[in-house]
Structure 1
Amino acid sequence: MSDSTNPGSSGFQRWSERAMALCLAVMAAAVFLNVVLRYGFGSGVAASEELSRLLFVWMVFIGATAAYPMGQHMAFTALLTPLAKRPVALKAMSRLVHALVLLSCGLLGWGAWQQVVIGMDSRSVVMAYPTALLPLPAFLCAVAIGAMSFWNLLRGEVIDLGHESEVE
């Protein structure tokens, strides 16, 4: 995670970290309250499980979107490191990787959007929220990462090989 006091950290990065922390805090509180009520008093909050599942899905996709511009997704640097001394080959391979990421985002976005459309007419069992809220973060994540990858492809961005581990 980035340092929120660092003036170089982006507004999106700070927003995403706060959103993930809020999701985690609400999930932890809901589950803790449910456990205490079930084991201590023989009853529980029915919405706890649905709320935790919904927040977990959102937290994962917010985190995935925030990790992409920082280069924290799988980079396969072991495959690209031999090309480090051949800048033309490295640039070509980087373009291929960005194009494959863009293709993957297109496929993920298309499938997630289909699920959003299907979920608009149905409601969750306990909380009665539109079930379209479950696949929506996958769609938004695919759009955001796809846009970043497209931008990197247009600029000819070379993949950073300075990762900590050789094989990720």
Structure 2
Amino acid sequence: MTTDSTGAAPAAPGWQRLAENAMAIALGVMALAVFVNVVLRYGFGSGIAASEELSRLLFVWLVFIGAAAAYPLGEHMAFTSLLQLLKNRPAAMAAATALIRVLVILACACLGWGAWQQVVVGLDSRSVVMGYPTALLPLPALLCSVAIGVMALWELVARKPLDLGHGVEVE
């Protein structure tokens, strides 16, 4: 994370704060549900059946919200050591950047298509315990693929250079 001249971190954009708050809420509810369920099972010999389903659903949403929020910050895994070889060759770096962005868009299209098919299948079925539409499980994958695909497309069109940063020469 970068800091401003005073050493303080800059204010996060609204979408980033929203994603972080959603992830914090999901994590908090998951932790509380699992903790209460463990206490009830081991302390009183009973439990809450919906705890496992709720935790699974929230975990899936947490992962995909986090993945979408991490993309514009450049926090996904990258093979920057390969790109370091192109650092002093602007034309090759521009071509590699465009290729990477196209591959990201294609991966998002594949993920989105598969997630869409699962959403459609899940519209007609319900979870066993809680009764929510099972389309809610693949829905975050669809939304994440759309979000990352749109961001990658914008970066491709705007010819945004790749951030090889994180202050490390070779990762």
Match in the other structure for 2:109: 106
Whichever structure has more helix as a proportion of its residues is: 1
CA change 1:129–1:2 in 2 (3 A) is farther
- Is 1:85 the counterpart of 2:110? The answer is no
Q: Which moved more, 1:74-83 or 1:115-124?
A: 74-83
Contact 2:2-2:10 within 8 A present in 1 as well: no
Tell me which amino acid in the other structure corresponds to 1:55.
Answer: L
Q: CA deviation at 1:58?
A: 0.1
1: CA distance between counterparts of 2:157 and 2:103?
A: 14
SS of alignment partner, residue 163 of structure 1: coil
Q: Are 1:120 and 2:123 counterparts?
A: yes
TM-score, with length taken from structure 1: 0.94
**Distance in 2 between the 1:75 and 1:151 partners?**
19
1:17 corresponds in structure 2 to: 20
Give deviations 1:73-99, integer Å, cap 9, x for gaps: 122101101101011111110000000
What is the aligned partner in structure 2 of residue 148 from structure 1?
A: 151
Q: State the match for 2:142 in structure 1.
A: 139
> Structure 2 CA distance, aligned partners of 1:161 and 1:7?
20
C-alpha distance in structure 1 between counterparts of 2:142 and 2:2, whole Å = 25
Q: Distance in 2 between matches of 1:61 and 1:154?
A: 25
1:67 partner letter: A
- Aligned alpha-carbon RMSD (Å): 1.6
- Structure 1 runs of 4+ aligned residues shifted over 6 Å read none
Answer yes or no: is the 8 Å Cα contact 1:16–1:66 preserved in 2: yes
CA contact 1:95–1:157 (8 Å) conserved in 2: no
Residue 117 of structure 1 aligns with an amino acid whose one-letter code is: V
Identify the residue that residue 163 of structure 1 maps to in structure 2.
Answer: 166
Following superposition, the deviation at residue 158 of structure 1 comes to 1.5
- The answer as to 2:77 corresponding to 1:74 is yes
Rounded Cα–Cα distance in structure 2 between residues aligned with 1:120 and 1:64: 24
Task: Quote the offset at 1:2 in angstroms.
Answer: 9.1
Report the residue type matching 1:74 in the other structure: M
Displacement after TM superposition at 1:121 (Å): 0.2
Q: CA deviation at 1:133?
A: 0.1
For 1:34-49, what aligned pairs fall within 5 Å after superposition? Answer: 34-49=37-52
Alpha carbons of structure 1 residues 98 and 71: separation in structure 2 relative to 1, 3 Å = same
In the comparison of the two structures, how many residue pairs are matched? 166
Q: Which amino acid aligns with 1:105?
A: C
Task: Give, in angstroms, the shift of residue 161 of structure 1.
Answer: 1.1
| Distance in 2 (alpha carbons) for counterparts of 1:82 and 1:149 | 23
Structure 1: gaps spanning 5 or more residues: none
Residue 132 of structure 1 aligns to which amino acid in structure 2? A
